[in-house]
Structure 1
Amino acid sequence: MAAAPSAFPSPTDAPFSLRHTMSTHSTEVVRGSHQFSIVGYSLQKRTGVGKIVRSGAFEVGGYSWTIRCYPAGNTKEEEGYLSLFLELLSTAVDKVSVKYSFEINGPMGNLFDQSSTWDDFTRNDKSWGFRKFVKVESLESQYLINDCLTIRCTVEVQKESMTGATRPYFITVPPSGICQDLAQLLDSKQGSDVTFQVGQNDYDAHKVVFAMRSPVFSAQFFGSLADKPGGSGGGGHHVRIHDLKPSTFEAVLHFIYTDTLPPVEDDDDDLLLSESTNYRGLREAAAGCSKESHREMICDWLAAADRYDLERMRLLCESALSETIDVENAAGTLELADRHHCPQLKAFCVDYIASPGVLKAVLATGGYRELKANSPSVVADVLEKLASTGSC
C-alpha cells in the first residue's frame, strides 16, 4: 500500500529565502529612582508607631509612585524598626510587575541596601516593602546627617511583553569599536608625538587626538598661537601641565581616548585601567577610596573638564555628582557648579536646597558658610527659587 502524501513539504522543497528566519520575544524594563529626604527625622519618630511620612509622587514606567516611611515602625510588631514601602498611586491598573530596592547613605559613605524580587502591584495590593528594614537604633547611630535621613528608592517596571514578526535572518554588525581602538593606541604609544609632564609623571600621547577632542588643545597645538616647528612651548613635543594632580590628568586622558569616565569604583571590569601604565595615579587614588573621597575625585575631574572644554566629560561628572547630593554637600556642590559653568547641576542643587525643610539643615553646614562668603549671587538664586515656590 502506497504511503499517504505528507501534509507538509520537506525542507528541501521550501524556498531558499525561508530556510533561515528568526523572531524575537522581548520584555521591556523601565528603570528609575527617587531620592526622598526626611529633615528632622527624630521629631517624626517621636510621633510614634503607625505614623507615616510620604514622599512626593514620582513617575517610573508610566505609573505614579510614592514612598511610605514609618519612622517608628508600621505596627506594634515592628516597633523599634524603620518600615519602608513603595506604593502605587495610579488607579487604572489591573497588574504591574515591579522590582524595587531602598538605599540609605550614611555620613561616612556607608550604604544599607535591601532589594526585593519581582512583585505584582494590583488594585488590591498597591503597596509592597519591608516592615523591618533597619533597627532605629542602628539608623540613628550610622545613617543620619544633621538629623536628616536620605532614602533612595530604585524602581524597575516590567512593560508589556511581545513577540516580533518572523523575518529573514540578518547579518549581525558588532557595536562600534573605535573607543577600544583609541584606548589601545594610547596604551601602545604607537605614533605618539607629544609628552605631557604632570608632576613627576610623563604621558605619551597624540596631538591630533587631543585636538580632535578639546578646543583648548586644538588651539594650543594647531591654532594661531601654536609654536612654529622647532619651538619649545605649547605646540612642541613636551607640554608641562601645571596645577593638576596626575590622577586627575589621567582621568582626562582616559576620557579623551575612550569617551567615558574611569571606572575607579570597580576597576576589575576594565583591563585597560588595571594593567596600563598610563593610570598609575588613578589606581593609587582609587585604592581603598571611600564614597566621599570618590566624590571629591569627581569634583577634580569636573574642574579639569571645564578647563579643557570637554563638554561630555563635564556632563558625566555633573550626573555623577547629582546622584550623591545630600544636606551636607549641597552648598559646596552648588558653589562648584557655579564656578565651573554647570547650569544643570546648579539648577538641581538650587531645587534640592529649596525643597521644603531642607534649607534649614543646609544653613547649618560649613559648606553654606563658604558659599555665602564666596558666591553671594548664588545664595540670591536660592532665595529667588524659594520665593517662586512659596516656600518662604
Structure 2
Amino acid sequence: MSMSAVLPALRCVGRKQLSASTILPRHATGSHLLRINEFTKVKNMVVKVNSECSRGLQMRSSTFAVGGHDWRILCYPKGHWCDGHISLFLEHGGRRASHKPIGDIMAKIQFSILDQALEPSYTKTILMQRYGSHYQWGGFEWFMTDEDFDKEKHLKDDCLTVVCDLTVIVTGTDECMEIPPVAPPLDLHGQLAEAIWDKETPDVEIKHRSSTSVQDMDPEVSKALLQFIYTDSPPHANLLEAATTAERLLVAADRYELEKLKLVCEEALCRHIGMGSVFATLALAERHRCPVLKEACMRFLSSSGNLETVIAMDGF
C-alpha cells in the first residue's frame, strides 16, 4: 500500500499533524576469494598475548564491499584461541558514506574451502548473523579441525583458498517527510446544503453554455451526492432508511470514487441484511468492492442455520 493511500485513512480518525518515512529493506549479495600462500608455515605460527597465553596468527583479507558496507575475512590457521582447528570469521568494517542504515544489519555467511580442482570441499553456513555497533564479528571459532584438514586435498602448491559468499540484508530510509496539514474545509454545511435541498425557486440564476447529463440517477440520490461533494457531510439518516436508496447511493459513490460516502452506504446496508436479501447484497458488495458489506454478509450466513434457510428459500 502506498503512503498516499495510508495518509487519508489516518486523517479521517483525527491524526491531523503527520510526518512519514519509509524503511526500504533489500538484499545484496557478493563473494570474496582469500588465498593464503605457504599455509603449512603460517599454520604453525603463534602470537604471544602475555607470559601465560598465546594464540594463532591472524590473517586478514583486503576490504571488500557488499550491500553498502565494508567487510574483511579473518583467518586463524592455528585457531583463534585453541590449537587443533582453523578459525574463520567475517569482520564488519563499517558502512559506506552513501548508505544510511537504520539500526543493526543482518547477514548470511557461507565459508568454503576449495580443493585442488577449485571446487568447494568443506563448507559451513551461518543463516543469520547480526552486525552492529556491538556486533563486529561473526563466524566459526572451530571451522575445521586438524583431523578434517587434508593437505593433499585442501592445499594446492601449499596455498589455502577460501571463498566467502555473503548475503546482506540492509535497510535504508527516505528522508522524514513532514506532511502538510489539510486545509480546513469551507464552512458551507448550512447554506449550501439548504440550497441543494430547497425546492423553491432560487434567487440567483447562473447562465452556462453547456450542461452535464448524469445518467441512471434519480434526483434524490443526485442531491445527496452533491451535498456530500460540496459540504463533506453524510446524507440525512432518513434517506438511508430505505435499502433501495442506500443501494443506489452506494452505486453512485462507487462510480465517482467517493470512498467515504461509499462506506457510509455500506454501513447503512449492513443494517438491512436479511434472509431474503443477503445473496443480492453479497453480489452488490462483490460488484462494487465493498469489504465491510461483504464481511457483514458472510458473518450473517455463517450464523447457525442461516445458510440452510436462505438456500431453502431460494430453491437451491
- TM-score, structure 1 as length reference: 0.33
- TM-score, structure 2 as length reference: 0.40
Higher strand share: 2
Say which one has the larger Rg. 2
Question: Relative contact order (alpha carbons < 8 A, sep ≥ 6): 1 or 2 greater?
Answer: 2
